Chain A
Amino acid sequence: MKISVLGRLSIGFFIALFLLSFGLLLFPSLDPTAFDPFYIGNPEAPSWAHWFGTDDFGRDILLRCLSGARISLLVGIVSVLISVFLGVWVGLVSGFYGGWVDAVLMRFVDIMLGIPSLFLILTIQVMLSPSIINVIVVIGLTSWMGVARMVRSEVLSMRERVFITAAFARGFSNSKVLFKHILPHTLLPVIVAAMLGMGSAILAESVLSFLGLGVQPPHASWGNMLENSLSFMRDAPWMTVCPGLLITASVLGLNFIGDDMRAYLNVRERVDARA
């Protein structure tokens, strides 16, 4: 597999991010939520002591960004796992069994796609009250439809292949064919979709934060730090730099990695928008 320079840089970036953010746990004295409740000044500009400055509570922004990385990446990874899990199941069942099962499931996918996603996310989020877990669940529950369609069309084309018909001819059970032969072949494009999905999930968390429904303080996530920095844009513009850079770099990195994988798999973006 040929990995581009940008892809390599991105992989390096994520490894560094993981090491730093989890390495931080070894130093309990570096508490990113700590501040002096009896004296809170103004945000401080970047200095040697605070490379990216401090926020409105006097907390070090870099430290918060690194610990926020754990939450933001957690949101990205777990919500994508949920959406991939749902999407793969729906797609597999729908494509494999066909008939009315397929019809019902695909109609459901159409319906979910037909409800404007922002309204869907907002209403569910309002219903569940914002916490890290709910942010993850909401993003996961509202983003599985694309994967489902992709897997379904993958399965449909697979069913026609010779080795699948052969497997049936040899008397293999449905589930064996499904899991041993079909599933593995659909996984690679799913992984590519997951990479890109993680990027969107990280962005989705920041938009939820902008609407006030993201990860709640005092926990730091890149999204809520970025949102908080907006109102300080005039007086303390440095507050926006670190979370802004990290969100952009992560989404960018995930896209580069996804792009390389896609080139490797020669998978094209699939369009199956027809209802």
Chain B
Amino acid sequence: MIFRRILGFIPLIFGITFISFMIMHAAPGDPTMMFVDPSVQIQDMAQVKANLGLDKPVLVQYFFWLKEIGKGNLGFSYVSGQPVLDLLWERLPATLLLSVSSLILILCFTFPLGLLSGYKKDSFFDRAVTFLSFLGMSLPTFWLGLMLLLLFSLRWSLFPTFGFIDPFLEDASLWARAVSVLHHMFLPLLTILIGGLAGLIRFNRFSIIEILSQDYIQAGRARGLSERRLLFKHAFKNAALPIVTILGAGLSGLIGGSFVIEYIFSWPGMGQLGVSAVFARDYPVLMGSILFSSILIMLGNFLADLSYSKIDPRVRIR
């Protein structure tokens, strides 16, 4: 039952928000402490704290937060006073664009590479793919990002250094704007790809090795089925199954995961919002981001389950 499964998410989200809330409030400092110079007075900071309700016990604060969520109100940022929902909403397009396109590209690259490498197990090709994908995974992201920036942007002037879209294009055609966004997205995307290929390539490789050694493949071969048919009817489908699951879980990396890349390339995504909220102790924004990403994770898992049962009728959603 789909409905029951969705219902099962509610206590989970409850738990996630509760634990994050408690951890957050255990961190020292509060939003009034961001800016301190001799002209700021301690009593003013205390007054602001009281205005924000921060002088109340943590449990009470959590209860208030929940109550507002119940009314569909994510609260207001302590720092900017803006509704948290608006803040998240503004960041959504850039985040979705970068993460969804990186997911798609990763899928496009890893599938053939993994299949081929598993099929030609222990060949030179297999080893080269293994080595290079592991190498990509082993490079620290921030280092890689800056290197690409220095090389492609400064040295060769191929790509812009920062941002999401050329700011003087608001009257331009949709096409010109899309080109601009893609142009800006290339380097961050490349950085994500280099680091993110290894896992799925390895995964595909193992799947294909295992599947090719299964009895029914051998039996198919014996019956004289063409190699192509074998692979793409049977092996392909079975290898696709677990990938769906992995991608479902991959949604979780959507928000927090790409912070470093967002930071280096000044990409206006949610990761930057969340991390700056950690440092500014902007609890409502942080809680909003966490709530949002936990819903995404649930959604990812749920979609994975759904497609699981579509691809493989043996699996039924309980």
Contacts and interface: CB of A to CB of B under 8 A. Distances in A.
Interface of A: 6, 107-108, 110-120, 122-124, 126-127, 199, 203, 206-207, 210-211, 223, 226-227, 230, 233-234, 240, 244, 247-252, 255-256, 259, 268-269, 271, 273-275
A111 B278 contact: no
B249 A273 contact: yes
Given A111-B12, A118-B259, A255-B137, A273 B301 contact: yes
12 contacts: A107-B12, A113-B297, A114-B12, A207-B141, A227-B142, A244-B140, A252-B134, A255-B198, A259-B130, A269-B202, A273-B249, A274-B305
Given A114-B294, A251-B138, A269 B12 contact: no
Contacts of A120: 20, 23
Interface string B282-317: 000010011001100110010011000000000000
B206 interface: yes
Contacts, number: 143
Interface stretch (B24-32, B94-102, B220-228): B24-32
Nearest to A247: B140
Given A113-B252, A203-B140, A271-B245, A119 B135 contact: no
Among all A-B residue pairs, the 6 with the closest Cβ atoms = A116-B256, A118-B256, A251-B138, A273-B249, A127-B27, A111-B15
Interface of B: 8, 11-13, 15-16, 19-20, 23-24, 26-29, 130-131, 134-135, 137-143, 146, 150, 198, 202-203, 206-207, 210, 242, 245-246, 248-249, 252, 255-257, 259-260, 271, 274-275, 278-279, 286, 289-290, 293-294, 297-298, 301, 304-305
Contact of A122 (B255, B278, B293, B298): B278
Nearest to A210: B142
Contacts of B8: 275
B135 A248 contact: yes
Given A115-B19, A120-B20, A269-B206, 15 more contacts: A111-B19, A116-B293, A119-B289, A123-B20, A123-B27, A124-B27, A203-B138, A207-B142, A251-B138, A252-B135, A269-B202, A271-B246, A274-B245, A274-B301, A275-B298
A126 B27 contact: yes
Given A122-B278, A252-B134, A115 B16 contact: yes
Contact of A119 (B26, B210, B290): B290
B138 A247 contact: yes
Contacts of B27: 123-124, 126-127
Contacts of B304: 273-274
A68 B17 CA distance: 38
B23 A123 contact: yes
Given A110-B12, A111-B16, A269-B202, A116 B138 contact: no
B309 to A, nearest CB: 11
A120 B21 CA distance: 11
B206 A252 contact: no
A258 to B, nearest CB: 10
A116 B278 contact: no
B289 to A, nearest CB: 7
A68 to B, nearest CB: 14
B97 to A, nearest CB: 19
Contacts of B24: 123
A275 B274 contact: no
A155 to B, nearest CB: 21
Is the contact region of chain A dominated by helix, strand, or loop, or is it mixed? Answer: helix
A207 B140 contact: yes
Most chain A CB atoms below 10 A, which of B15, B29, B134, B260 = B134
A119 B278 contact: yes
Nearest to A237: B150
B23 A210 contact: no
A159 B137 CA distance: 36
Contacts of B248: 273
Contacts of B135: 248, 252
A6 B202 CA distance: 16
Nearest to A255: B134
Contacts of A110: 12, 15
Contact of A117 (B19, B23, B138, B256): B256
A216 to B, nearest CB: 17
A116 B290 contact: yes
B316 to A, nearest CB: 13
A197 B241 CA distance: 25
B16 A226 contact: no
A252 B294 CA distance: 31
A113 B141 CA distance: 22
Contacts of B271: 118
Contacts of A199: 138
B28 A127 contact: yes
B10 to A, nearest CB: 12
Contacts of B130: 259
B198 to A, nearest CB: 8
